[in-house]
Amino acid sequence: MQNGDKPRLLLDSVVLGIIGGLSAQLFTWMLRLSQKIFLVWLAGYRPPGLPEEGGVLREVIGPHGLWLVPVATTLGGLISGALVYGLAPETEGHGTDTVVKALHWTGGIIRARVAPVKMLASAITIGSGGSAGREGPTALIAAGFGSVYAKVLHRPERERRLLVLMGMAAGLSAIFRSPIGTAIFAVEVLYGGMDFESEALIYCMLAAIVAYAVNGWFVGWQSLFRVASHPYAAGLADYGWYVALGVASGIVAAILPEIFYRLRDGFAALRVPAWIKPAIGGLGVGLLALRLPQVLGGGYGWIQEAIDGRLALRLLLVLLVAKMLALSLTVSSGGSGGVFAPSLFVGSMLGGVFAGIFHHPPADLVIVGMAAVFGGAARVPIATLLMVAEMTGGYQLLVPAGLAVMLSFLIQIKLSSFFKYGSLYEAQVAARADSPAHRAENVRLALRLLDEGKILLPPQVTHLHLAALLQSGLSLDLPDGSQLTVGALRPESPWVGKAIQSRTLSGPIVDAKIVAILRGNSVLLARPETILQPGDRLLLIAPPQAQEALAQHLVPPPALNSPTGTTGAS
């Protein structure tokens, strides 16, 4: 990024902050209107609402009981499905994952129709009782505006990606009243391995602060949740509760994505039109709500009840499981909504269970549980820690919450390695080096490693030749007698499934060094922790005497664009 571009991007941050704040207000108004139509007028049910949002912490059940709730949830799913699959199929599911996918794979391009379709479909899904949150829709709506803004102003791809991130941070900041946490969320959620889109942070921060100010002008500056007396860790012994809660949160955080995506696979296998599936999911949620109406919507009112200690232990334990199922029925079926609020709900119930079992004041454990479960399940520990602190005003809990969140994150990564699905955000990649958006940068870094290693190259070999070598099976003779070569890793090689650990390979090829890896269409740096996979194309430097041994592990790969080429996992 050129220095001359920075003032322009700072101005863009302000503009997108205003747009994000206003779009969040519009979406909130539409969501309330939808809830009045579907749940209040049609079903005769009003869930408890947050006082800080003008709601009342009181559940109201009409004269017909809950029998019309399944009608509302099914009708909402049917209308939402028709809108989504008829106008913009990419708006199905939780919107944050759509934004992450666009940033990695399409240069931040999001169609102009996505924002209005997502806004309407999500308002209907959640307002009719669908068990989903506001974060995903708001992220996609505001990011969509950022993409359109970039297109109108003819911005290059790199700036467009920054503008999309600014929009996402702004929308989330307004909807959650959390400017610092949501700015970090926007740059952290792209990667599942503690990597960040660091160059975007300052612009996302400014956009989020502006959106927070715009939102505050409409609704005030209070935290989203109310904590009567701010909790704090009384002593060293209290940290045992946070350690135990962090461990339990890591287990729940590993299970949640597995349930979510396994149910999505089940809906995908159903032989019915795609636009019907959200109605089936809505019916399932409605039937579940006949016994447990607490699973409807985002559930923020019930989270506040848990913070206040008004929910019985048995109910907390049941809701912990029921909300995971309700979320999966709503969003995995193709319904339009986010996963953030339901995940906070699950975490708050888990914290409440710990408080009830060990007779501990509930507020601190509920707040820490909220942060620990979502921070692990979504693999955004830093952002979640700050977001929950801002949403509750529980800043005194940052240290014990940080302990629980990090334990949850580490345990979730370990346990999820045994499952098919590791994160709530399927489009995440492990690190910047794994992102297709940074492919050109990865190639430049790999070539720079050659230069810094003082490898003597023939004068006629340029960087262009080296880049072309990644797509061929040819070898280059180097002046020192070694060879620069590319080979595809054989499935039967003992290197498969092993970490590189160092640039020097172990075994009989003691002098062979991996410089870079071509995996699918991505060029990866040879990091020590990188796990080699069958079909990986390795760019190596090896002495002539190692070539015969190398042939036992590698085969010359076909060209990158060959229809029979090995693609490997990305």
Residue 502: the pLDDT is 46
Higher pLDDT, 529 or 247: 247
Q: Mean pLDDT check: name the lowest of 191-195, 243-247, 536-540, 562-566.
A: 562-566
**Hey, where are the domains in the chain?**
3-416, 437-555
Higher pLDDT, 158 or 485: 158
Global pTM reads 0.80
The Cα angle at residue 488 between residues 487 and 489, in degrees rounded to 5? 115
Highest mean pLDDT among 51-55, 234-238, 400-404, 562-566: 400-404
Q: How many CB atoms lie within 10 A of CB 493?
A: 17
- Position 469 confidence tier, pLDDT thresholds 50, 70, 90: low
Q: What is the pLDDT of residues 329-370, one digit of tens each?
A: 999 999 999 999 999 999 999 999 999 998 888 999 999 999
Is the pLDDT at 232 greater than 80, yes or no?
A: no
Q: How far apart are CA 332 and CA 136, in angstroms?
A: 13
Q: What is the pLDDT of residues 244-263, one digit of tens each?
A: 999 999 999 999 999 999 99
Residue 379: the pLDDT is 95
Q: How far apart are CA 302 and CA 291, in angstroms?
A: 15
Handedness of CA 178, 184, 187, 188 (dihedral sign): negative
Q: What is the pLDDT of residues 297-312, one digit of tens each?
A: 999 999 999 999 999 9
Domain over 3-416 is classified CATH 3.60.15.10: no
Q: What is the helix (H) or strand (E) element at residue 350, kind and residue range?
A: helix 340-357
Higher pLDDT, 93 or 219: 219
Q: How many CB atoms lie within 10 A of CB 422?
A: 22
Answer yes or no: same fold for 3-416 and 437-555: no
Q: How far apart are CA 526 and CA 537, in angstroms?
A: 11
- Position 475 confidence tier, pLDDT thresholds 50, 70, 90: low
Q: What is the pLDDT of residues 3-44, one digit of tens each?
A: 556 889 999 999 999 999 999 999 999 999 999 999 999 999
Residue 494: the pLDDT is 80
What kind of fold does domain 437-555 have according to CATH? Alpha-Beta Plaits (3.30.70)
- Position 503 confidence tier, pLDDT thresholds 50, 70, 90: very low
Find residue 133's DSSP bridge partners. Answer: 338
- Position 236 confidence tier, pLDDT thresholds 50, 70, 90: confident
Contact 543, 482 (CB under 8 A): yes
How high is the mean pLDDT of the chain?
85
Residue 119: the pLDDT is 93
